[in-house]
């Protein structure tokens, strides 16, 4: 059962695929932003001098990095209802992806904090600044600028991982293409088109990452 | 194991008692398929990188391979192989599709890892080998590969860990690996929390074990680089 690929079918269903791609982008962006909050909080615990906090953060990072995202998605999707929390699939997807991304982002931020000369915080302390304000005004802004390239990489990973949310019925690009395949019986054309859409989105993001990197290198004196 | 023993209210791991053989069979399938795909990925990655660096005509093709397999999700690559493959005459059973899919996906990442490894070896060494009349193949086998193996070990172990975690998606193309077997148990017993927690714990053990083994191997392979062992 061999057939000649006919991409006019893919073109005809492009609107459905693009709609899926929009969901993919939306879920990924929401998860990276939520992951930023999770990651920063976990990172601050991880580098905190309070032992139990640091230990809990370590356990969180180890667990969330050691569990496949598909398994994490199943856990969030099926176990939250057991606790009486009913969530739409998209919300469960964003929670699972941002928890996973948060664990990776925490390690990215840890590197960011380590790269800032300790003299800055010491100087701020000598001037009488409180610890919270030192974090908000001095450390975190610089850390975020420094880790931007890594965050773009993380977003690319998230974009690809978001395809797994199709397993919990989120109609993102992959599930949209599954639906089109079910209607047209043309897996070759549709899945190839969807794969190319992913490649295009990721190439765009990685070009963006290159620009960010070049920009940061240009103002090296300010950030270094 | 009882719920009280774990201090977790409402959990009863006794339901799993009858299913441990199924879980272990799934775990074994995961380990077996991951091992095969990591080996395939390493071979493909090394082949692609050698082609890219040494055969000018093949370089653009290698770039397309790496960009495609790194730029799209593993799940869609598996769908292409498993559901669209028969249309172009490639018919694989789920396990074979899984190994080939994961291997090709990992191969793209391994190729980039090998590239950075080769690039880290000083050119002077190869020039010296050429001056001494060593043929390029022998220089590759005796000078480049042994040094590169030590250099790429940490990123290669990382990538292998990522592949183990990604192997969970093989459940979606019906490979009876750990995740698939656990979903079966969920469907048969109508319990959700216990099987999923055991599933997560088993993956965590696999990944953490491999990571520790990688660190130990790295320490062994790089002993000669450790400055504290210098005699002078």
CATH of the domain at A118: 1.10.3720.10
- Tokens 């292409």 belong to B80
Nearest Cα residue to B103 out of B159, B27, B179: B159
C-beta of residue B215 within 8 angstroms of C-beta of residue B67: no
Q: B169 pLDDT band (50/70/90 cuts)?
A: very high
pLDDT tens digits, one per residue of B21-76:
999 999 999 999 999 999 999 999 999 999 999 898 999 999 999 999 999 999 99
3-state secondary structure of B144: helix
As a whole number of angstroms, the longest Cα–Cα distance in chain A is 77
**Residue B204 touches partner A, C-beta closer than 8 Å:** yes
Any domain includes A3 = no
**Which residues 74-113 of chain B have a CB within 8 Å of chain A?**
74-77, 79-80, 83-84, 86-89
Residues of chain B contacting residue A79, judged by C-beta atoms under 8 Å apart: 192-193, 196
- DSSP character for B82? I
CA distance A103 to A72: 13
Q: Residue A6 — φ and ψ, nearest 5°?
A: -130, 100
Going along chain B from its start, the domains and CATH numbers come out as 3-229 (1.10.3720.10)
**Buried-state track A88-100, b at ≥16 Cβ within 10 A, e below 16:** ebbbbbbbbbbbb
* Residue that wins the pLDDT comparison between A119 and B17: A119
What pLDDT, on the 0 to 100 scale, is given for residue A82? 84
User: Does residue B2 surpass a pLDDT of 70?
Assistant: no
What pLDDT, on the 0 to 100 scale, is given for residue A86? 87
**Residue B7 touches partner A, C-beta closer than 8 Å:** no
C-beta of residue A198 within 8 angstroms of C-beta of residue B76: yes
Average pLDDT, chain B: 89
Q: B9 pLDDT band (50/70/90 cuts)?
A: low
User: Does residue B228 surpass a pLDDT of 80?
Assistant: no
3-state secondary structure of B1: coil
**Residue A61 touches partner B, C-beta closer than 8 Å:** no
Any domain includes A1 = no
What pLDDT, on the 0 to 100 scale, is given for residue B89? 85
C-beta of residue A72 within 8 angstroms of C-beta of residue A100: yes
CA B229 to chain centre: 33
CA B79 to chain centre: 19
Residues of chain B contacting residue A167, judged by C-beta atoms under 8 Å apart: 172
Domain around A22: 8-223
Any domain includes A120 = yes
* Binary contact (A198, B89; C-beta < 8 A): no
CA A23 to chain centre: 14
What pLDDT, on the 0 to 100 scale, is given for residue A219? 62
Helices A187-218 and A140-161 pack at an angle, to 10 degrees, of: 170
C-beta of residue B52 within 8 angstroms of C-beta of residue B58: yes
Q: B232 pLDDT band (50/70/90 cuts)?
A: very low
> Shortest CB distance from A164 goes to which of B83, B84, B169?
B169
> Shortest CB distance from A198 goes to which of B76, B84, B197?
B76
What pLDDT, on the 0 to 100 scale, is given for residue A3? 64
pLDDT tens digits, one per residue of B114-141:
999 999 999 899 999 999 999 989 999 9
**In B120-192, which residue ranges form alpha helices assigned H by DSSP?**
123-131, 136-139, 145-166, 178-189
CA distances from A26 to A159, A177, B109 (A): 9, 17, 26
CA-derived radius of gyration, chain B? 22
Size of interface A-B (CB pairs under 8 A): 110
Minimal-distance CA residue of chain A relative to B79: A191
ipTM computed for the complex: 0.85
* Binary contact (B204, A191; C-beta < 8 A): no
Helices B145-166 and B193-221 pack at an angle, to 10 degrees, of: 170
What pLDDT, on the 0 to 100 scale, is given for residue B8? 56
Nearest Cα residue to B192 out of B44, B10, B34, B55: B10
Q: Residue A127 — φ and ψ, nearest 5°?
A: -85, 0
Taking the CA of residue B23 and the nearest CA in chain A, the distance in Å comes to: 15
- DSSP character for B140? I
**In A47-88, which residue ranges form alpha helices assigned H by DSSP?**
51-66, 69-82
pLDDT tens digits, one per residue of B83-116:
988 888 888 999 999 999 999 999 999 999 999 9
C-beta of residue B23 within 8 angstroms of C-beta of residue B16: yes
Any domain includes A190 = yes
**Which residues 163-182 of chain B have a CB within 8 Å of chain A?**
165-169, 171-172, 179
**Which residues 162-181 of chain A have a CB within 8 Å of chain B?**
163-164, 166-167, 174, 177-178, 181
Structure tokens that stand for A88 in this block: 């739409």
**For chain A, how many structural domains are there in total?**
1
> Shortest CB distance from B203 goes to which of A67, A79, A188?
A67
Average pLDDT, 10 consecutive residues per value, chain A (224 residues): 73 92 96 96 94 95 94 92 89 96 95 92 93 92 90 93 94 94 90 94 90 76 46
What pLDDT, on the 0 to 100 scale, is given for residue B218? 85
**Buried-state track A106-128, b at ≥16 Cβ within 10 A, e below 16:** bbbbbebbeeeeeeebeebeeee
Nearest Cα residue to A91 out of A83, B75, A99, A200: A99
CA pseudo-torsion sign A8, A12, A17, A18:
positive
Taking the CA of residue A194 and the nearest CA in chain B, the distance in Å comes to: 8
* Binary contact (B76, A3; C-beta < 8 A): no
């Amino acid at each position: 059962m061999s057939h000649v690929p006919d991409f006019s079918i893919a073109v005809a269903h492009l609107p459905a695929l693009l709609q899926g791609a929009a969901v993919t982008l939306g879920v990924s962006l929401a998860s990276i932003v939520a992951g930023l909050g999770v990651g920063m909080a976990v990172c601050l615990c991880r580098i905190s001098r309070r032992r139990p906090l640091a230990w809990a953060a370590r356990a969180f990072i180890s667990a969330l990095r050691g569990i496949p995202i598909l398994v994490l998605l199943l856990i969030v999707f099926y176990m939250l209802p057991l606790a009486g929390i009913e969530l739409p699939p998209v919300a469960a997807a964003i929670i699972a992806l941002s928890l996973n991304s948060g664990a990776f982002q925490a390690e990215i931020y840890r590197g960011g904090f380590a790269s800032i000369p300790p003299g800055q915080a010491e100087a701020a302390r000598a001037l009488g600044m409180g610890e919270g304000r030192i974090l908000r005004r001095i450390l975190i802004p610089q850390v975020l600028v420094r880790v931007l390239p890594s965050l773009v990489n993380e977003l690319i990973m998230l974009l690809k991982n978001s395809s797994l949310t199709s397993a919990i019925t989120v109609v993102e690009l992959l599930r949209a293409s599954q639906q089109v395949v079910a209607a047209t019986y043309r897996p070759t054309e549709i899945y190839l088109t969807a794969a190319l859409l992913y490649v295009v989105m990721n190439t765009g993001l990685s070009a963006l990452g290159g620009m960010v990197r070049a920009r940061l290198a240009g103002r090296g004196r300010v950030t270094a | 194991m009882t719920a009280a023993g774990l201090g977790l209210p409402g959990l009863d791991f006794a339901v799993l008692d009858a299913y441990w053989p199924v879980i272990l069979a799934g775990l074994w399938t995961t380990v077996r398929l991951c091992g095969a795909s990591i080996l395939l990925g390493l071979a493909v990655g090394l082949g692609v990188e050698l082609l890219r660096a040494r055969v000018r005509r093949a370089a653009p093709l290698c770039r397309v391979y790496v960009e495609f397999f790194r730029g799209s999700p593993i799940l869609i690559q598996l769908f292409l192989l498993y559901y669209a493959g028969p249309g172009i005459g490639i018919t694989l059973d789920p396990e074979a599709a899984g190994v080939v899919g994961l291997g090709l996906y990992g191969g793209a990442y391994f190729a980039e890892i090998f590239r950075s490894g080769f690039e880290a070896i000083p050119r002077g060494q190869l020039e010296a080998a050429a001056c001494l009349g060593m043929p390029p193949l022998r220089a590759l086998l005796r000078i480049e590969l042994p040094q590169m193996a030590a250099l790429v070990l940490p990123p290669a172990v990382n990538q292998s860990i990522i592949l183990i975690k990604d192997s969970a998606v093989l459940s979606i193309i019906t490979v009876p690996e750990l995740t698939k077997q656990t979903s079966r148990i969920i469907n048969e017993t109508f319990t959700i929390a216990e099987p999923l927690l055991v599933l997560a714990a088993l993956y965590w053990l696999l990944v953490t074990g491999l990571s520790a083994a990688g660190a130990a191997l790295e320490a062994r392979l790089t002993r000669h680089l450790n400055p504290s062992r210098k005699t002078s």
